[in-house]
Amino acid sequence: MNICDLAPAYIRAISPYQPGKPISELAREMGMDEQSIIKLASNENPLGTSPMALNAMSRALGEVSLYPDGSGFELKAALSERHGVTSDQIVLGNGSNDVLELAARVFLKPGASTVYSQHAFAVYPLVTKAVGGIGISVPARNYGHDLDAMLDAVAPETRIVFIANPNNPTGTLLPADDVLRFLERVSPDVLVVLDEAYNEYLPPALKGDSIAWLKQFPNLLITRTFSKAYGMAGVRVGFGLAHPDVAGLMNRVRQPFNVNNIGLAGAAAALQDEEFVKRSYALNQAGMLQIVTGLRQMGIEYIPSYGNFLSFRVQGDVKAVNESLLRQGVIVRPISIYEMPEHLRVTVGLEPENEKFLKSLAIALETAGGAAADTIPEMTARFRQVASEGSA
Ligand SMILES: *Cc1c(COP(=O)(O)O)cnc(C)c1O
């Protein structure tokens, strides 16, 4: 008997998470110079990291021989001030993925179920299956969450509903009122995990005051992250906000030192640098417009996005188009594991990166796009025009 055969069947059934291809890997595979490659595949912040956070992290390097503060006192104090919650409502995580996993470990057991939307973040089924839970994927409506259908899908065994707002990889946004109405209607026996990883990219008018809902709903867990607008994906810091009892259970289950010294120091400093988040937001708005304009000129269908990324539909051979982009040094994300085999997801980058992406896409569609480029002459002409404009 192979030891692996003795692992629970629900573990063996998990398909591995497919991360964006690292620049170093593509450089190795293609014999390319790393400098010539741009990665627009993991929704990272193209501005890098707040200088204030970088400073704090350099200082923290002097303390890496010591265990971090397992209670995360300073970061929690900064978060409670920022968000108007008490420290005992906060769960810190090694990225918000860690918080999602803690929620699953606390509230699920084999046979319990979770509800999430089709095309929603891949980590929801992953954390569900890792503890023997059953994931119920609810068909999307216009690529977004169908909250009525999700409510109907809640079964007696359901313990968690995951809502990503905005959602990755579709970029769709639910109006705050709709989420609130969902909370009012769903059973209080079900934990609603509201994943707001892209909250900082929302225009102020579209940001609901979800944190205020915590007072009314002890079954609400809000997750946020320092990985996206704060530009700290590499040090892995995220957090959850919930009722103190919920946070307390999650804090019992987490590793005592799940967030490292450097991340704790960096995140606390990053919170003070509002200027950096503002710049990241503004850059994203401009870059999104640039990408959308380019795609429109090429006649490419895309899903309007509220995040720092956008998914667009490739008519023809997606694999060949992606390969062509890679050969041109542009890494985007194929999203067939999200049941979107015809789409690619691109992260909004710096202005020249977006331009390189658009130009490379035009070339990729012309050379590898199959049906679209071969059979629609006027489209091919448009690809050429965008390609030559891009190189000018
Ligand atoms: C990127 C992302 C996260 C954040 O993951 P971290 O573990 O905090 O880096 C969470 N949820 C969604 C939907 C995301 O796209």
Which residue, judged by its Cα, is nearest atom 14 of ligand 1?
A: 197
Closest CA relative to residue 348, chosen from 390, 287, 290, 274? 287
Chain centroid to CA 230? 13
How many separate helices (H) and strands (E) can be counted in the chain?
16, 13
Q: Which atom of ligand 1 is nearest to the CA of 238?
A: 8
Q: At what angle do helices 96-107 and 123-130 cross, to 10 degrees?
A: 40
Dist. CA 123 → ligand 1 center (Å): 9
* Range list for CATH 3.40.640.10 in the chain: 51-272
- Whose alpha carbon is nearest atom 1 of ligand 1? 197
Note whether 242 and 107 are within 8 A (CB): no
Rounded distance from Cα 11 to ligand 1 centre (Å): 22
Q: Are strands 90-93 and 238-241 parallel, antiparallel or unpaired?
A: antiparallel
Cis upstream peptide for 175 (omega within 30°): no
Distance 2 CA to ligand 1 centre (A): 35
The pLDDT tens digits of the residues spanning 263-310 come to 999 999 999 999 999 999 999 999 999 999 999 999 999 999 999 999
Name the nearest CA neighbour of 238 among 138, 101, 373.
Answer: 101
Rounded percentage of the chain residues whose pLDDT exceeds 70: 94
Residues whose CB falls within 8 Å of the CB of residue 330, separated by 6 or more in sequence, listed in order = 37, 38, 40, 356, 357, 360, 361
Residue 52 has pLDDT above 60, yes or no: yes
Predicted pLDDT of residue 381? 56
Confidence at residue 373, expressed as pLDDT on a 0 to 100 scale: 42
Flag whether pLDDT at 103 surpasses 60.
yes
Q: What separation in Å is there between the alpha carbon of 225 and the centre of ligand 1?
A: 7
Instruction: For residue 238, report the distance from its CA to the centre of ligand 1, in Å.
Output: 8
* Band of residue 382 on the pLDDT scale cut at 50, 70, 90: low
> Would the pLDDT of 378 be above 60?
no
Whether residue 391 is predicted with pLDDT greater than 60 in this model: the reply is no
Closest by Cα among 251, 291, 330 to 93: 251
Q: What is the pLDDT of residue 374?
A: 43
pLDDT band at 229 (very low <50, low <70, confident <90, very high): very high
Please state the rounded mean pLDDT for residues 27-32: 93
Residue type, 140: A
Coil, strand or helix at 220: strand
Q: How far apart are CA 35 and CA 353, in angstroms?
A: 12
Is the CATH number of domain 51-272 3.40.640.10? yes
Shortest-distance Cα residue to atom 2 of ligand 1: 197
Question: Which superfamily does 21-47+275-391 belong to?
Answer: Aspartate Aminotransferase, domain 1 (3.90.1150.10)
- Structure token digits, residue 340: 């979107």
Residue 201: pLDDT over 90: yes
| Segment among 112-116, 143-147, 381-385 with least mean pLDDT | 381-385
- Please list every protein residue whose CB sits less than 6 Å from any atom of ligand 1: 43, 95-97, 121, 164, 168, 195, 197, 225, 227-228, 233, 238
Rounded Cα gap, residues 197 and 186, in angstroms? 23
At position 347, the amino acid (one-letter code) is: T
Q: How far is the CA of 197 from the centre of ligand 1 (A)?
A: 5
Q: Is the pLDDT reported for residue 221 higher than 90?
A: yes
pLDDT surpasses 60 at 375: no
Q: Whose CA is nearest to atom 15 of ligand 1?
A: 168
CB 158 within 8 A of CB 70: no
Query: Which residue among 94, 119, 168 is best mutated to probe the pocket of ligand 1, counting the most ligand atoms within 8 A of its Cβ?
Result: 168
Q: Which of 195, 308, 348 to mutate to test the pocket of ligand 1 (most atoms within 8 A of CB)?
A: 195
Q: What is the pTM of this model?
A: 0.93
Q: Which residues contact 53 (CB under 8 A, 6 or more apart)?
A: 230, 231, 232, 266, 267, 269, 270, 273, 276
